[in-house]
């Protein structure tokens, strides 16, 4: 039935500050991210790669979508240069300060406006938000099935379902869900391709910008006013002061000193649950 | 404001989602009952657990022994294995009907899958992957500590108007409570309205490694890219000192070791007495996972490696020359 059907895949891309360049201002208890250089949220690059690989297999098209300030457009152009077909930036002052509730709502409205999305691919979590909840949120707003922590994505054309491996605590599962669906993928789950700079400099690459009015959203549902959570403060993460004692000599001498130093930790005892340490097996 | 499903005034009690696997409670569920009990005492309110599954009576008893005032049990064959649709529907209905003030879940893959979806269904706020929970003195609001930016920054987040105040909490943060021989709480069974066609997920395959729980390991020997794929000496040392083998994400992604052994932000947060960390550079993504270790030993051939900042004992050397000596000397110690 679906033999002729080709998927329209949307990829949600977020641009984030490089983590090592974000500083905490302890006086004002705010984050200084203004001077931090930006990058694609790492797993989102894997999300884009999955979408492009699926398009190679099943034809169809790939749209990239982002909610953020105007400078995100430059990054969306990079996504076009890597091979995405169309790019949309949801950008409006009203979207600012959004937590995951309005973020997932706004992205869902953008995806709905694309019209005919069969699959939405996201990253597992963002390095600045680190919530992993935007993808399930999008799925809920759109009433779509969801797969989180996914890898090995496949579209089963005869059944029009997505098949994916999904990480579990202490294991994994392989599941299928009907399309349309939202999937979030693990960082490093595939090997992203390089940017085709010919595409970047060749044809004019357009990014369509949609405002709150374009999406027809109620301003009270987006951005800061749509958010349910409030940041009460920020802090530098506490770091434990370590001894940092340098052990010197030959490898044997270092090992000997170390054994003396850590002898108390080597005392064998049963673990609290009484279980023996399980033997590690090589990963196939 | 996005209208919530119920108001602050209607909300009461602290709830914990009791994630289970094959009828056994996840460690983080017990940890949350422990912390939840303290918070409930502080707020002078009741602590409830919500337990879904197909045969979970024994798990419900454990939750009572762990200090719950009440365990709400929803049993159905279709709840035996976690699926987003079934769990969101059942938990969502119970929450809307009974209106908790605070709802805590473990930040496991399934806990986060459920929490993210449920928060939108309930139109409420969710603080994800907390490493600490407090109650605000003046308001009694839940304050969640969240690390961001690869572990360098902590934000304190609250949810002032929407209910329930939802949070997921990282496994291994709170100590599991003592189990009491004389539980006082009650089990309350709720009817489950669920038909198979409401569940879109089809589970084709499931593989779980029983018995491996890095968050409970007392000793850990962890390796990274510096092992170049050879975990042999690490395994030998681990076997000798009763340690679990752990790894960085790089080692896992390279396929050198199972994902269940990954330590760090997207792996497990461990709290061993001793962590011997070999051939690991010390990215914040990794070090958040060994921060709570009592003693950290780092072996790295690069004297500039950031891991040394986070180590009690610093060995600048090739791990392949240090580990064999170490193994020999530990052996000598044991036989001597
Ligand atoms: C969103 C996100 C989440 C992440 N989550 C995690 C996570 O949960 N856990 C995690 O670990 N990482 C995580 N990472 C990756 C993390 O940022 C680092 O890339 C990773 O921890 C580095 O692993 P490594 O130390 O093994 O490798 P490298 O950084 O390559 O370090 C290898 C080290 O080995 C040393 N070495 C080499 N040869 C030897 C030798 N013979 N003897 C001794 N030392 C030697 C080198 O000097 C070097 O310091 C995440 C990244 C992202 C973007
Ligand atoms: N502002 C945004 N624009 C586009 N995609 C986003 C945005 N925020 C989150 N996402 C997507 O949701 C994933 C998870 O993000 P988070 O829930 O913030 O951890 C990211 O990897 C992105 O794919």
pLDDT in tens, B263-292: 998 888 898 999 999 999 999 889 989 988
The reply to whether A230 falls in a domain is no
Q: Which of B84, B217, B310 sits opposite A242 (nearest CB)?
A: B310
| SS3 label, residue A117 | coil
Mean pLDDT of B52-76: 98
Query: Do A14 and A143 share a domain, yes or no?
Result: yes
Q: CA nearest B125 in A: which residue?
A: A228
Q: Kindly indicate the confidence band of residue B335, based on its pLDDT and cuts at 50, 70 and 90.
A: confident
Q: Which of A277-281, B71-75, B125-129 has the lowest mean pLDDT?
A: A277-281
Provide the shortest C-alpha distance from residue B11 to chain A (in Å): 16
Contact B125 A228 (CB under 8 A): yes
d(CA B269, CA B245): 14
pLDDT the model gives residue A197: 65
What's domain B8-198's architecture? 3-Layer(aba) Sandwich (3.40)
- A283 pLDDT exceeds 60? no
Give percent of chain B with pLDDT exceeding 70.
99
pLDDT the model gives residue A278: 45
Q: Which of A269-273, B75-79, B151-155, B290-294 has the lowest mean pLDDT?
A: A269-273
Query: Do A127 and A54 share a domain, yes or no?
Result: yes
pLDDT the model gives residue A26: 67
d(CA A235, CA B19): 31
Ligand nearest to the CA of B283: 1
Provide the shortest C-alpha distance from residue A41 to chain B (in Å): 11
Q: Which of A180-184, B167-171, B195-199, B210-214 has the lowest mean pLDDT?
A: B210-214
Strand-pair category, A161-168 with A171-178: antiparallel
Mean pLDDT of B11-39: 97
pLDDT the model gives residue A233: 87
B285 within ligand 1 shell (Cβ under 6 A): yes
Query: Do A168 and A263 share a domain, yes or no?
Result: no
Instruction: Report yes or no: A143 at the B interface, CB cutoff 8 Å.
Output: no
Q: At what angle do helices B84-98 and A134-142 cross, to 10 degrees?
A: 80
Look at A24 and A219; give whichever has higher pLDDT.
Answer: A219
pLDDT single digits (tens) B121-160: 999 999 999 999 999 999 999 999 998 766 667 899 999 9
The reply to whether A207 falls in a domain is yes
Q: CA nearest B331 in A: which residue?
A: A259
Domain boundaries, chain B: 8-198, 214-335
Contacts of A201 by beta carbon, 8 Å cutoff, 6+ apart:
none
Q: At what angle do helices A42-58 and A72-82 cross, to 10 degrees?
A: 40
Q: CA nearest B21 in A: which residue?
A: A169
Residue in the block written with tokens 């004002």: A28
pLDDT the model gives residue B62: 98
pLDDT single digits (tens) A149-170: 999 999 999 999 999 999 998 8
State which residues form the domain around A274.
240-279
Ligand nearest to the CA of A50: 2
The reply to whether A142 falls in a domain is yes
Mean pLDDT of B106-111: 95
Q: Which of A2, A177, A148, A10 is nearest to A79 (CA)?
A: A10
- A105 pLDDT exceeds 50? yes
Q: CA nearest A261 in B: which residue?
A: B313
Look at B292 and A174; give whichever has higher pLDDT.
Answer: A174
d(CA A245, CA B263): 24
The reply to whether A284 falls in a domain is no
Indicate which atom in ligand 2 lies nearest the CA of residue A131: 19
The reply to whether A72 falls in a domain is yes
- B1 pLDDT exceeds 90? no
d(CA B304, CA A225): 46
Query: Do A38 and A168 share a domain, yes or no?
Result: yes
B84 within ligand 1 shell (Cβ under 6 A): no
Give the DSSP H/E element, type plus range, for residue A182.
strand A181-185
End-to-end CA distance of chain A: 37
Instruction: Report yes or no: A277 at the B interface, CB cutoff 8 Å.
Output: yes
Instruction: Report yes or no: B159 at the A interface, CB cutoff 8 Å.
Output: yes
* Nearest CA residue ID for atom 4, ligand 2: A66
Provide the shortest C-alpha distance from residue A278 to chain B (in Å): 6
Provide the shortest C-alpha distance from residue B132 to chain A (in Å): 12
Q: Which residues 133-152 on chain B approach chain A with CB closer than 8 angstroms?
A: 136, 143, 146-152
pLDDT the model gives residue A277: 44
The reply to whether A38 falls in a domain is yes
- A176 pLDDT exceeds 60? yes
d(CA B88, CA B113): 9
d(CA A162, CA A146): 10
- A201 pLDDT exceeds 70? no
Q: CA nearest A258 in B: which residue?
A: B313
* Cα(A79) to centroid(ligand 2), Å: 15
Contact A131 B242 (CB under 8 A): no
Query: Do A67 and A147 share a domain, yes or no?
Result: yes
Look at A51 and B213; give whichever has higher pLDDT.
Answer: A51
How are strands ordered across the β-sheet holding B274-278? A245-246, B313-316, B295-300, B274-278, B219-223, B244-247
- A229 pLDDT exceeds 90? yes
Q: Kindly indicate the confidence band of residue A280, based on its pLDDT and cuts at 50, 70 and 90.
A: very low
B214-335: same fold as B8-198? yes
Query: Do A123 and A214 share a domain, yes or no?
Result: yes
Contact B119 A176 (CB under 8 A): no
Residue in the block written with tokens 């340490």: A277
Instruction: Report yes or no: A7 at the B interface, CB cutoff 8 Å.
Output: no
Q: Kindly indicate the confidence band of residue A271, based on its pLDDT and cuts at 50, 70 and 90.
A: very low
Query: Do A30 and A155 share a domain, yes or no?
Result: yes
pLDDT the model gives residue A171: 87
Provide the shortest C-alpha distance from residue B17 to chain A (in Å): 16
Range A148-152 contact pairs with CB under 8 angstroms and sequence separation of 24 or more = A148/A124, A148/A183, A148/A184, A148/B109, A148/B112, A148/B113, A148/B116, A149/A124, A149/A184, A149/A185, A149/A186, A149/B109, A149/B113, A150/A183, A150/A184, A150/A185, A150/A186, A150/A189, A151/A185, A151/A186, A151/A189, A151/A190, A152/A189
Best of B5, B201, B282, B302 to disrupt the A interface (most A CBs within 10 Å) is B201
Kindly report the average pLDDT of chain B as a whole number: 94
- CATH number belonging to the domain at B214-335, selected among 3.40.190.10, 3.40.50.1220, 1.10.1040.10, 3.90.1660.10: 3.40.50.1220
Q: Looking at the DSSP assignment, which residues form a beta bridge with residue B2?
A: none
User: What ipTM is given for this predicted complex?
Assistant: 0.85
For the domain that residue A141 is a member of, what is the CATH number?
3.40.50.620
The reply to whether A138 falls in a domain is yes
pLDDT the model gives residue A135: 98
Give the number of domains in chain A: 2
- A281 pLDDT exceeds 50? no
Residues of B in contact with A125 (CB under 8 A): 266
Query: Do A80 and A213 share a domain, yes or no?
Result: yes
Instruction: Report yes or no: B209 at the A interface, CB cutoff 8 Å.
Output: yes
Query: Do A181 and A266 share a domain, yes or no?
Result: no
Token pair for residue B40? 């409930």
Range B237-240 contact pairs with CB under 8 angstroms and sequence separation of 24 or more = B237/B276, B237/B323, B237/B326, B237/B327, B237/B330, B238/A277, B238/A280, B239/A277, B239/A279, B240/B327, B240/B330, B240/B331, B240/B334
Specify the pTM.
Answer: 0.87
Kindly report the average pLDDT of chain A as a whole number: 87
d(CA A21, CA A160): 43
pLDDT the model gives residue A30: 67
pLDDT the model gives residue A228: 96
pLDDT single digits (tens) B187-239: 999 999 999 899 999 999 999 877 788 988 999 999 999 999 999 999 999 99
Query: Do A169 and A271 share a domain, yes or no?
Result: no
Q: Which of B270, B292, B31 is nearest to B174 (CA)?
A: B31
| SS3 label, residue A194 | coil
Mean pLDDT of A125-145: 91
Backbone angles phi, psi at B251, to 5 degrees: -60, -35
pLDDT the model gives residue B336: 66
The reply to whether A272 falls in a domain is yes
Count of other CB atoms within 10 angstroms of residue B93: 16
């Amino acid at each position: 039935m679906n033999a002729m059907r080709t998927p329209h895949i949307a990829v949600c891309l977020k641009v984030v500050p490089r983590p090592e360049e974000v500083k905490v201002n302890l006086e004002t208890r705010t984050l200084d991210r203004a001077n931090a250089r930006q990058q694609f949220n790492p797993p989102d690059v894997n999300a884009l790669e999955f979408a492009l690989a699926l398009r190679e297999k099943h034809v169809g098209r790939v749209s990239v979508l982002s909610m953020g300030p105007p400078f995100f457009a430059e990054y969306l152009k990079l996504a076009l240069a890597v091979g995405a077909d169309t790019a949309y930036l949801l950008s409006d002052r009203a979207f600012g300060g959004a937590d995951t509730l309005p973020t997932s709502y706004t992205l869902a409205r953008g995806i709905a406006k694309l019209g005919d999305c069969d699959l939405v691919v996201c990253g597992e979590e963002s390095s600045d938000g680190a919530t992993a909840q935007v993808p399930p949120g999008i799925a809920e707003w759109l009433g779509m099935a969801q797969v989180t922590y996914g890898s090995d994505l496949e579209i089963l054309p005869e059944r029009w379902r997505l098949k994916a491996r999904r990480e579990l605590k202490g294991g994994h599962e392989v599941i299928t869900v009907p399309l349309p669906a939202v999937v979030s993928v693990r960082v490093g789950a595939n090997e992203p391709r390089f940017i085709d700079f010919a595409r970047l400099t060749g044809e004019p690459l357009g990014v369509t910008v949609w405002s709150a009015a374009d999406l027809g959203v109620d301003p009270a549902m987006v951005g800061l006013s749509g958010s349910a959570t409030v940041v009460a403060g920020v802090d530098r993460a506490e770091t434990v002061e370590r001894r940092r004692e340098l052990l010197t000599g030959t490898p044997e001498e270092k090992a000997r000193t170390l054994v003396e130093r850590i002898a108390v930790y080597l005392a064998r005892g049963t673990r609290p649950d009484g279980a023996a340490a399980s033997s590690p097996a090589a990963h196939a | 404001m996005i209208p919530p499903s119920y108001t602050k005034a209607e909300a009461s009690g602290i709830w914990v989602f009791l994630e289970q696997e094959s009828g056994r409670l996840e460690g983080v569920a017990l940890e949350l009952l422990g912390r939840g009990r303290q918070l409930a005492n502080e707020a002078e309110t009741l602590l409830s657990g919500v337990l879904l599954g197909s045969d979970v009576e024994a798990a419900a008893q454990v939750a009572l022994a762990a200090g719950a005032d009440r365990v709400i049990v929803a049993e159905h064959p279709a709840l035996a294995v976690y699926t987003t649709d079934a769990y969101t529907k059942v938990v969502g209905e119970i929450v809307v009907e009974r209106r908790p003030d605070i709802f805590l879940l473990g930040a496991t893959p399934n806990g986060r899958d459920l929490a993210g979806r449920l928060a939108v269904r309930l139109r409420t706020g969710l603080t994800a992957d907390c490493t600490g929970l407090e109650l605000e003195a003046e308001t009694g609001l839940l304050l969640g500590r969240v690390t961001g930016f690869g572990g360098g920054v902590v934000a304190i987040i609250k949810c002032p108007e929407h209910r329930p105040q939802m949070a997921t909490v990282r496994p291994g943060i709170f100590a599991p409570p003592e189990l009491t021989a004389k539980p006082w709480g009650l089990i309350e069974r709720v009817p489950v309205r669920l038909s198979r066609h409401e569940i879109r997920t089809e589970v084709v395959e499931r593989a779980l490694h029983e018995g491996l729980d890095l968050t409970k390991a007392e000793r850990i020997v962890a390796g990274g890219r510096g092992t170049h794929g050879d975990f042999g000496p690490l395994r030998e040392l681990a076997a000798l000192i009763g340690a679990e083998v752990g790894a960085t994400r790089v080692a896992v992604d390279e396929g050198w070791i199972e994902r269940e052994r990954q330590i760090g932000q997207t792996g497990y947060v461990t709290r061993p007495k001793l962590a011997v960390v070999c051939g690991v550079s010390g990215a914040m993504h990794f070090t958040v996972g060994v921060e709570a270790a009592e003693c950290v030993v780092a072996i790295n051939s690069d004297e500039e490696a950031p891991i040394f900042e986070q180590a009690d004992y610093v060995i600048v050397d090739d791990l392949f020359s240090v580990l064999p000596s170490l193994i020999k000397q530990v052996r000598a110690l044991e036989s001597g």
